[in-house]
Amino acid sequence: MNLVDQPDPPKVAGGEAERQTELIRLRYRDDMAADGPWNEVIATILSHRSVRAFLPTKLPAGTLERLVAAASAASTSSNLQTWSVVAIEDQARKDRLAILGAEQKFISQCPLFLVWCVDHSRLHLAGAERQMTLGGLDYLEPFMVGVVDAALAAQNAAIAAESLGLGFVYIGAMRNRPEDVAAELGLPSGVMGLFGMCVGYADPTRPADIKVRLPQNAVLHREQYHADSMPEVIAAYDPRLVEFQREQAMRETPWTKLATERVKDIEALRGRDRMRQALNNLGFPIR
Amino acid sequence: MNLVDQPDPPKVAGGEAERQTELIRLRYRDDMAADGPWNEVIATILSHRSVRAFLPTKLPAGTLERLVAAASAASTSSNLQTWSVVAIEDQARKDRLAILGAEQKFISQCPLFLVWCVDHSRLHLAGAERQMTLGGLDYLEPFMVGVVDAALAAQNAAIAAESLGLGFVYIGAMRNRPEDVAAELGLPSGVMGLFGMCVGYADPTRPADIKVRLPQNAVLHREQYHADSMPEVIAAYDPRLVEFQREQAMRETPWTKLATERVKDIEALRGRDRMRQALNNLGFPIR
């Protein structure tokens, strides 16, 4: 077996060409060309939709370990591996975490709830072992490293889950009350729950759909950032999101309104304005 | 076409069973069982290795757009989409970014260099349009949202790239001199380069290998965090990493030494101790 072998060249034919066109159309709802390299991995990634209604069906044996292996395979800054994941299946604990997580009922409902953590505790242990104080960990930068490490690991697990026919949704509300989440999960100093992830089989009676995103000329910049055209690019996105909301029988709200309301003032942060204090309490000085 | 169709059930047979065993063995080098659900997506994810030597071969037409579509398909907190990517192919600009990025020569060498950014600028634009000041953006929390959004997007692009036979490596050193990177890329206020990513075809004469990671019982916790066994778990990892280094003809250094040296003091942060000041200068108050 030669691990350096490259995957088969992409093939696009018949039903796959139609699938490709549809996935790109639903993602952007603009005149974005659908052609380009294609394979099953890319199709899996482009098919993502967040699932918020789950069947009670348990995951097959070995699935959690496979998702964590996918997470371990992600890149990590300087091999520091400053992340951990807590896997919760106990119903009472899921119910308590749902209360901490803005009472989102799918936290209780999903068969597997994962809390992805920034984890400096193994570095502190290694430092103690070597009788070092590790003053570098007191700064914002190594906390950012942990946030990136945890997110890369989680996204690998997320793609692996979707490839197995599972659905998931990230739960940012795990940051609403970080100390309470840490207490519930028994996190040591230097560990914080960055976000949750509900995992399970999607309830087919309540299907999720592909959400339309900002167009590529909003997020992709060639050589240098192009800011001049951005107001028109954003304005063009508003009606596409409203069209999606209308199809979903959701309240019709343009992105510019939704997004600005979400960050307009301290109250909109739902307690997360005290994140720095919470992180200090959890062992991250964030200098 | 029914987009709710689930992928084919995982099949493991013949050469695939051998591949699965080998990928798990190389990733952990312990007694981790290799069986579990399997498919081509998971195989792609588990095959990751960071590539630091590239051929000059350009990427096929449409590849960048496909990688960005993969990035757009990633989850994003409250659909805020607080990320952007700058794609650099100009040799002189890559050379200047290599200087800013700790003089890592693969930044100059790779055909495509991506800088993944935290981007609040579209929110500021939307706020100005609606005559709102968006005081919520002044806090650490929405910056963390941008870090997570950018990392999830980038990892989707990374997996898509590897599925196409491309290699990549993340470049954290884009954070060594954040203001200089922002100036080079013409980033507006509220945008910062979080990390770079070299993309291209790996030089087959300088193959990368799968790096051994901490075992699953270091990063996976069931129901609650188990800290008690961690010193022994970490100690068991040290010789596995040294074994990998020996095979690669790298300097043999246990993880506990490598990791603690990387964060032992301010000097070890290579200028990144001033991250908060740099972020303030770039339009993130980080309250």
What 3-state DSSP class applies to A267? helix
Average pLDDT over residues B113-125: 98
Q: How confident is the model at residue B7 (pLDDT cuts 50, 70, 90)?
A: very low
Identify whether residues A134 and A217 lie together within a single domain: no
Instruction: Return the structure tokens found at A280.
Output: 């200090």
Whether A3 is in a domain gets the answer no
By C-alpha distance, the chain B residue nearest A16 is B1
Identify whether residues A116 and A232 lie together within a single domain: no
Identify whether residues A70 and A180 lie together within a single domain: yes
Identify whether residues A202 and A67 lie together within a single domain: yes
Identify whether residues A72 and A128 lie together within a single domain: yes
Identify whether residues A263 and A165 lie together within a single domain: no
d(CA A203, CA A187): 32
Pick the last residue of a domain from A192, A207, A222. A207
Identify whether residues B194 and B231 lie together within a single domain: no
The answer, yes or no, to whether residue A188 has pLDDT greater than 70, is yes
Pick the last residue of a domain from B207, B225, B244. B207
- Which of B123, B147, B195 has its CB closest to that of A259? B123
| Contact residues, chain B, for A159 at CB < 8 Å | 41, 45, 156, 159
User: In 3D, which of A67, A85, A74 has the Cα closest to residue A162?
Assistant: A67
| Contact residues, chain B, for A266 at CB < 8 Å | 135-136, 139
User: In 3D, which of B60, B71, B77, B51 has the Cα closest to residue B115?
Assistant: B71
Report the domain count for chain A: 2
Judge: A263–B80 Cβ closer than 8 Å, yes or no.
yes
B8-53 residue pLDDT tens: 444 555 689 999 999 999 999 999 999 999 999 999 999 999 999 9
Whether A177 is in a domain gets the answer yes
Judge: A170–B77 Cβ closer than 8 Å, yes or no.
yes
Chain mean pLDDT for chain B: 95
Identify whether residues A218 and A116 lie together within a single domain: no
- Which of B19, B265, B279 has its CB closest to that of A1? B19
Identify whether residues B228 and B184 lie together within a single domain: no
Listed in sequence order, the residues at least 6 apart from B155 whose beta carbon sits closer than 8 Å to its beta carbon are A74, A151, A152, A155, A156, B74
State the pLDDT at residue B188: 98
Whether B250 is in a domain gets the answer yes
Pick the last residue of a domain from A207, A232, A255. A207
Whether B184 is in a domain gets the answer yes
The answer, yes or no, to whether residue A6 has pLDDT greater than 60, is no
- Which of A42, A141, A276 has its CB closest to that of B175? A141
Listed in sequence order, the residues at least 6 apart from A27 whose beta carbon sits closer than 8 Å to its beta carbon are A46, A210, A212, A213, B69, B72, B73
Judge: B164–A276 Cβ closer than 8 Å, yes or no.
no
Whether B78 is in a domain gets the answer yes
B53-90 residue pLDDT tens: 999 999 999 999 999 999 999 999 999 999 999 999 99
State the pLDDT at residue B10: 46
Which pTM does this prediction carry?
0.95
Please report how the helices A140-163 and B140-163 are oriented relative to each other, as an axis angle in degrees rounded to 10: 50
Average pLDDT over residues A37-58: 97
Identify whether residues A229 and A259 lie together within a single domain: yes
Whether B269 is in a domain gets the answer yes
Whether A44 is in a domain gets the answer no
Identify whether residues B177 and B106 lie together within a single domain: yes
Identify whether residues A173 and A248 lie together within a single domain: no
B149-191 residue pLDDT tens: 999 999 999 999 999 999 999 999 999 999 999 999 999 999 9
Q: Which domain holds residue B183?
A: 63-207
